[in-house]
Structure 1
Amino acid sequence: MKLVVLTNKPEWFLEITPEGEVHIAELDENWIVDSDVITKLLEEKYPGPSLEVPPEKGIKDLSTFIGFVKRKGP
């Protein structure tokens, strides 16, 4: 794992992903820059616990998270 400062992306990082995409993983010596593909490959390689959000929870949890981020105060 390497820390990448998003406001000052290193050259090695930009060589892997010229657009500077931040969802990136090296799996089986291949660089993957698509988060959906990363999730699918991780699911196949490490089947449990699942990384997928059940459809019935996704929207509810996302709206709860957005509400949390937008709230004011402590």
Structure 2
Amino acid sequence: MSLYKTQSGREMSLKLYDAQLKKLDYSCKNVYVHTRFGRTHIIETGNLSGEPLLVFHGGNSTTTYNLLTYGFLLKH
């Protein structure tokens, strides 16, 4: 089961995702964890020696959009 209706829709979404990550000005690390719900993707970024913060995005948003919106949190 796919979240995308078409292959071109998938490609456009991933292109936007990558473009938003590049706007961050922070390096990002893709991390995958296994949970009882399956494999979950996490983006690790910001001040890695700071206090860890786990942020969940809503169903109508993406992680990259949240990171751009709440970028002020990345410093600390």
TM-score surpassing 0.5?
Answer: no
Bigger Rg over Cα: 1
Q: Which has the higher strand share?
A: 2
TM, length-normalised to structure 2 = 0.25
Q: Which has the higher contact order (CA 8 A, sep 6+)?
A: 2
The structure with the largest helix share of the pair is: 1
